[in-house]
A = this chain, B = another copy of it.
Amino acid sequence: MELWFTEHHNDSIGYSLKVNRTLNSENTQYQKLDVIESEFYGRVLILDGILQTTEKDEFVYHEMIVHVPLFTHKNPKSVLIVGGGDGGAVKEILKHDSVERVVLAEIDDRVVENSKKYLPTISCGLYDEKVEIMIGDGIKYVSEHKNEFDVVIVDSTDPIGPAVGLFTEDFYRSVYECLKEDGIIVAQTESPFIYGSLINKLSKMFKNIYPIVKPYICTIPTYPGHLWTFTMGSKKYDPEAVDVNNIPNIDTKYYTPQLHKASFVLPKFVKEIFEEA
């Protein structure tokens, strides 16, 4: 017997991974959580039936959501992650020597605990003494902390279920207050092949709040649409003005200083989605 995990998009596309075994399945307070061992992509975290991260390709998403904003900021010391309970973003943030404090605001402690247990290569940074794990509502946490973070990373699930509130103008405005005067927000903003209208809507919200708004892209084999966008809102620093010669060498598999700049060069139809916002 062969077992396959299949995720459907728009009820018309399926993405399937052959499963060697299921490591855990549980209903948490917030969502259905599964951890599987897939044949090609290694271990996979699945929330409400949607693939969140895999051992084999997590580096693309986590490197790009972290290193682009952190190397855009001149001296990031304090970083807040909203979501990201798997620890992948934390792992990448800890590669930056300037960082003194990382707060992970994850609503579901079972995501953190399952990642610690089943995804050690992704969650390894969660034990670092610079890291504070705050189990609770990220929206509430942001609203209660003003002028405190250099970078806020919104490492959310899709805009359904527990993450809906992370795709609103109220939240992005609250993050603005939570950031220091030269702070930067980055949010994962889905694929233009699947979610074009959402990207347009989010881009409008960012432009209403942040003086510098720039989307950037990467390719994630296990995410729907595969061409993935992040949207950066910045109070002061322009991510494209970074001197790539001054970016220190860190251990990566996807990010390079040259790719930092190239990732802001969008395919024409994606550029139009953002410019129309």
- Complex Cα spacing A225 to B60, Å: 13
- Give the CA-CA distance A269 to B252 in the complex, in Å: 9
Q: How far is the CB of A251 from chain B (nearest CB, A)?
A: 10
Assess whether A247 is interfacial by the CB under 8 Å rule: no
Chain B residues near A217 (CB, 8 Å)?
Answer: 219
Please tell me the size bucket of the interface on A. Answer: 35 or more
- Residue A28 at the chain B interface, CB threshold 8 Å: no
Residues of A153-167 contacting chain B, CB below 8 A? none
Given contacts A259-B268, A267-B259, contact A13 B17 (CB under 8 A): yes
Verify if A14 is at the interface (C-beta below 8 Å from B).
yes
Once bound together, how far apart are the Cα atoms of A215 and B9, in whole Å?
Answer: 31
Give complex CA distance A218, B266 in Å.
11
- Nearest B residue to A270 by beta-carbon distance? B254
Q: What are the residues of chain B within 8 A of A221 when measuring CB–CB?
A: 191, 193, 225-227
Q: Which of A6, A17, A226 has the most CB of B within 10 A?
A: A226
Check A255 for interface membership: any CB of B closer than 8 A.
yes
Q: Does A38 contact B (CB under 8 A)?
A: yes
CB <8 Å contact, A256 and B268:
yes
CB under 8 Å from chain B, chain A span 7-64: 9-18, 38-41, 57, 60
In the complex, which residue of chain B has the Cβ closest to the Cβ of A193?
B221
Chain B residues with CB under 8 Å of A14's CB are: 4, 6, 14-18
Chain A 241-277 interface 0/1 with B at a Cβ cutoff of 8 Å (1 = within): 0000000000011111011011001111101000000
Q: List 6 A-B contacts (CB under 8 A).
A: A13-B41, A14-B14, A14-B16, A221-B227, A253-B268, A261-B262
Residues of A near any B CB (own CB < 8 A): 4, 6, 9-18, 38-41, 57, 60, 191, 193, 217-221, 225-227, 252-256, 258-259, 261-262, 265-269, 271
Identify 10 new A-B residue pairs, CB closer than 8 A, beyond the known A14-B16, A219-B227, A221-B227.
Answer: A4-B14, A10-B40, A13-B15, A13-B18, A14-B18, A57-B193, A60-B267, A218-B267, A255-B267, A262-B262
